Chains A and B, each alone.
Chain A
Amino acid sequence: MNWLRTSSFVSISTVLAFTAVIWYAAAVYLNSAVLIDKYERHKVEWDFSKLVDDSWSMDRPIMPAPHQIIFDLNKSIFKQKISSKRSLIYHGWVTISSTMVGFAMGGILGILLAVGIVHVPTLNKSVLPWIIASQTIPILAIAPMIIVGLGAIGVTGLLPKAIISAYLCFFPIAIGMVKGLRSPDPIHLDLMKTYNASKSQNFWKLRWPASTPFLFASFKVSIAISLVGAIVGELPAGARAGLGARLLTGSYYGQTIQIWSALIVASVLAATLVFLMTLLEKGVQKRMGVRL
């Protein structure tokens, strides 16, 4: 066990180190053209080590070096008041709240749709194609429509963003749960029939518990997707807060370091959400006697 832990530590740090090496090299490669151009215009003497130094310390690099992002993260997470507009915690919180509301709405919608599809044959034929069609529309195209449309009827702020995130995340839940609710063996359904079980007993005592592995698999996908939805929802309306807003202002002013910081915060958030979901899943599995 100890050996395993050490070995996973070794493998993770190997991957990290490898990524860092590639990243630093990429920063030099991608930033060099701009720098060399600048050297030649200003007739500056330069050699390779100066190029490397400069490409890792530009104000607005094409590709910032990892340590620049780390400094920026440190500055915008730990050196700011949480309520400050410059704090990534503040922006992260804005995004995470619409993520959670969106995930809750998408989860309920997805589960309700799946229940309907499994129990009502007409819904199975009529709704499923629409659900699939809904996901073929690029979210970047429909997000502004939702924001503008809801804005016109006076709904602004968190809710439109949550709706976009729900729009994205209900899909894996609905599809997963249709499969999950249909997963009981015919023999288990026959057993319920011999007991003359009602529809709701069939659901709560058989279909629902049988679907939990599918539910958690879908939840883990969906919670990450709903974060993406919330960020996308912050882009079109020129939102003033949230990780999406940071990405947007970063790209307006060419602040690549700020963009990367926001991206890293977003991915850490996503990883944390998935991890928390896995913990919840483990807890439920334990109660349901799953062999771990």
Chain B
Amino acid sequence: MEESTRVVESCKVDLVFETADSPVHALSKIDLDINKGDFVSLIGPSGCGKTSLIRVIADLEKPTGGEIKVNGFSPEEARLKRAYGYVFQSPALYSWRTVEGNLKLPLEIMGIEKAEQSKRAAEALKMVDLTGFEKKFPWQLSGGMQQRVSIARALTFYPDLLLMDEPFGALDEIVRDQLNEHFHKLWEQTQKTVVFVTHSIPEAAYLSTKIVIMSPRPGKIIDVIDSPLPKKRTLDMRETPEFLDLSHRIREGLRAGHSYD
């Protein structure tokens, strides 16, 4: 019963990069279970391996030790089955494609028929509130809009798992707040499992059901906090004592991680 709801299962995962001078220990003995419907944030200072971990889940890096399963398969098998949608830190839109063309890119690759492509592109665009921008080219959109298009692109092929690597990291505070609220609603509607890399404490506290705190050199997990906040959230909640308490716990955790240095 519980097995079937496990989306990511990692056991003692290690990742070492061989570099010219000395090997870099990006991940060390990562044990982490992510269940269906979880919103898991990976938070920590730069170099703590949060991006490496999400890339291992996505099969963009091969772990050098330990075992990891995605939907019960190896990350590679899961990738070949197109089990996840990945959102990068930058929008990574193709400048020569319109918004609609960009949304159709994964669908073209996956061999989905033309009529269905248009339907799904329109649907995804609606989800991120950008209906009407189909024919625009990326440079005609603001940074926040581009990132929304890139989220929509990850939704077009209905993956159950979303892997997001600091998707709002390059945006200003105001746009980030808006997108956080918007994305929280989207997550509520779609019930997807999300793994979310961030270095913003309020962002992690606001969005997550589970917060994984990591520390660097070597990258490891030092604490996992299950959010006490209710599932439905508003931006105003960030002023409540529960929210502040949660933020405090995250901050303490991050500080503890740093004291290892």
- Residue ranges of A at the interface with B (Cβ–Cβ < 8 Å): 185, 187-188, 190-198, 201, 205-206, 209-210, 212, 288-291
Contact = CB atoms under 8 A, between A and B. Distances in A.
Contact of B106 (A195, A288, A290): A195
A195 B85 CA distance: 8
Contacts, number: 57
A288 B96 contact: yes
A194 B58 contact: yes
B88 A190 contact: yes
B10 interface: no
Nearest to A190: B60
Interface string B88-122: 10101011111000000110111000000000000
A212 B96 CA distance: 10
A169 to B, nearest CB: 26
A205 B105 contact: yes
B94 to A, nearest CB: 7
The 8 closest A-B pairs by CB, nearest first: A289-B137, A288-B96, A194-B86, A195-B109, A187-B92, A197-B109, A209-B96, A195-B106
Interface of B: 58-60, 79-80, 82, 84-86, 88, 90, 92, 94-98, 105-106, 108-110, 137-139
B225 to A, nearest CB: 28
Given A190-B60, A195-B82, A195-B110, A291 B88 contact: no
Given A191-B92, A194-B84, A209-B96, 7 more contacts: A187-B90, A193-B59, A194-B79, A195-B82, A205-B108, A209-B94, A289-B138
Given A191-B86, A291-B139, A205 B95 contact: no
A196 B95 contact: no
B137 to A, nearest CB: 3
A194 B110 contact: no
25 contacts: A187-B90, A187-B92, A188-B94, A190-B60, A191-B86, A191-B92, A193-B59, A193-B60, A193-B79, A194-B79, A194-B82, A194-B84, A194-B85, A194-B86, A195-B105, A195-B109, A196-B109, A201-B108, A205-B105, A205-B108, A205-B109, A288-B95, A289-B95, A289-B138, A291-B139
Contacts of A290: 95-96
A192 B97 CA distance: 15
Best-surrounded residue of B84, B85, B108 (most CB of chain A within 10 A): B108
Nearest to B159: A194
A290 B139 CA distance: 9
A187 B93 CA distance: 10
